[in-house]
Chain A
Amino acid sequence: MPPARSWRAYPQVYRLEAARCKKCGKVSFPPRLVCNKCGEREFDRFNMKRTGKVVTHTIIRTPSDEFSGEAPFAVGVVEMDGGGRLTTQIADVSFDELKIGLPVQMEFRRLYTEGDAGVIHYGHKAVPIRQ
């Protein structure tokens, strides 16, 4: 991925910045210009909470090349506490504990690296909350 493409999304990938619709309250992650629930164009920007729950999940065993060294790895849709949904890897999880409703927190991780000489892309992955 060219550096500019990840750089322009740093507020979202680094700080989980989302937008809450001023009319209906729906959280858009990433922020949108038009609410996909009610059509409103006014939003409040905020950083999502870093805790949430797994909505659904899978284990990727045959990834594309960028992720080949990491397979098998868990991926899930996570609903953040306070609203907002995203698709994320679930790291540091044993596969038999994966389940719908699993409480997770978002941790800062490497998402992937462009070979040995390219840019390292950072962002968030979910990990199970154990404490």
Chain B
Amino acid sequence: MAVGIIGYGAHLPRRRIKVEEIAKVWGADAPSYKKGLELREKSVPALDEDTITLSVEATRNALARAGIDAKDIGAVYVGSESHPYAVKPSGVTVAEAIGATPDCHCADFEFACKAGSEGMFVAYGLVKAGLIKYGLGIGADTSQGAPGDALEYSAAAGAAAFIMGADDDRMIATIDDSYSFMTDTPDFWRREHQFYPSHGGRFTGEPAYFRTVTGAIKGMLEKSSMKPGDFKYVIFHQPNGKFPKRAGKQLGFNFEQIDVGRLVPTLGNTYSGASPLGLTAVLDVAEPGDRVLMCSYGSGAGSDAFVLTVKDRVREVRDLAPKTRWMLDENVTYLEYGEYAKLRRKIRLAAH
């Protein structure tokens, strides 16, 4: 039984802030940040947008493409490191809003930037096991970087949702194989009650991101007996513009394979949404028969890799919801740092 994606959707906030605008406030050198991170601007959620609201909108776009009754969704998984509540699930609000309750399993995942692919993996696995008809996996975040920290230039917001199913006639892309790679690597963390995360600086690079991502992709290729040249597109986790390019080069992928799913230069790092959003951008343009490799990364650390084959239906459904690059490039407004600080609740307000 072929199991895969029968619906996909993205949602991005409309606000952006440029690297220059952040650098100006902290006396940092914008050109060197832009070059070093290969990142020009990032998305910023409004005061009324959070992981739950972005997840609902991404899911509605996925449902528009899937053309199914939400009642048939048997599982809703939201992966995020910015769940609005410390205790109270995000998944039930998403499930309630789309009309999947009460005959539905919900859970929230957290694994730094890997939580989205976890939700996808579990939803896929449950459909494959025959336990549910359809499963919804969402990666969404409204991440915070500490003011002035390098992460502030990249921490962004966005969501991608995937409905997994086994209906041949609805199949947009089959998931042909998967592989995960996990170790205990403390490169990035946020303790309970802390507003901003902490990270290990350069330790986040070679021993963390690169070791894990290359480990996962090598394992995936070996397991599926495939080589980089077999893929039309590869999507990496993308904390900045440079890491996915460098990882791709190390593994033998060329820039054309990487670039379509590399949204970070104008989106920023959407954490749990990052590689899933890259996959939505690829599905927006992929042709039937294209092979796609996706590899997430979450600090702490681990990667989930998937091999997908795009099906004919992608042509019928991709115009049924807004495309990811359209949301990324059009219909955006730019903020000054003061507005950004207000929207991201970085300003201390009077107590009510």
Decide if A and B touch, CB cutoff 8 A. yes
- Chain A contacts to B: CB under 8 angstroms: 10, 14-15, 47, 65, 69-70, 89, 91-92, 94, 107-111, 115, 120, 122, 125, 130-131
Measured between alpha carbons, how far is A101 from B49 in the docked complex, in Å? 25
- If A108-B57, A120-B84 touch, whether A91 touches B99 (CB-CB below 8 Å) is no
Question: Least Cβ distance of A75 to chain B in Å?
Answer: 13
Residue of B nearest to A68 (CB): B352
Where chain A touches its partner, the secondary structure class is mixed
Check B48 against A110 for contact (C-beta < 8 Å): yes
> Is the CB–CB distance between B48 and A15 below 8 Å?
no
* Interchain CB contact under 8 A, A120 and B85: yes
B56 touches A108 (CB 8 A): yes
- Give per-residue flags for B38-65: 1 if the beta carbon is below 8 A from chain A beta carbons, else 0: 0000000011111011001100100000
- Contact residues of B with A, CB < 8 Å? 14, 46-50, 52-53, 56-57, 60, 84-85, 93, 96-97, 99, 322, 326, 330-331, 333, 342, 349, 352
Say whether B48 contacts A130, CB under 8 Å. no
Give min CB distance, A124 to chain B, whole Å: 9
Beta-carbon contact of A130 and B96 below 8 Å: no
List 12 A-B pairs, Cβ < 8 Å: A14-B93, A15-B97, A69-B47, A69-B342, A91-B46, A91-B48, A107-B57, A109-B46, A109-B53, A120-B84, A131-B326, A131-B330
Minimum CB distance partner of A115 in chain B: B352
Q: How far is the CA of A120 from the CA of B84 in the complex (A)?
A: 8
Residues from chain A with Cβ under 8 Å of B326 in the complex: 131
Of A65, A69, A89, A109, which one neighbours B49 at CB under 8 angstroms?
Answer: A109
Shortest beta-carbon distance, B67 to chain A, in Å?
16
Q: A14 CA to B70 CA in the complex, in Å?
A: 14
Residues of A within 8 A of B46 (CB): 91-92, 109
- The 7 lowest CB-CB distance pairs between A and B, nearest first, are A108-B56, A109-B48, A110-B48, A14-B97, A130-B331, A108-B53, A92-B14
Q: Which of A69, A91, A111, A120 contacts B349 (CB 8 A)?
A: A69
- Establish whether residues B48 and A125, one from each chain, have CB atoms under 8 Å apart when the complex forms: yes
Given contacts A120-B85, A131-B326, contact A110 B93 (CB under 8 A): no
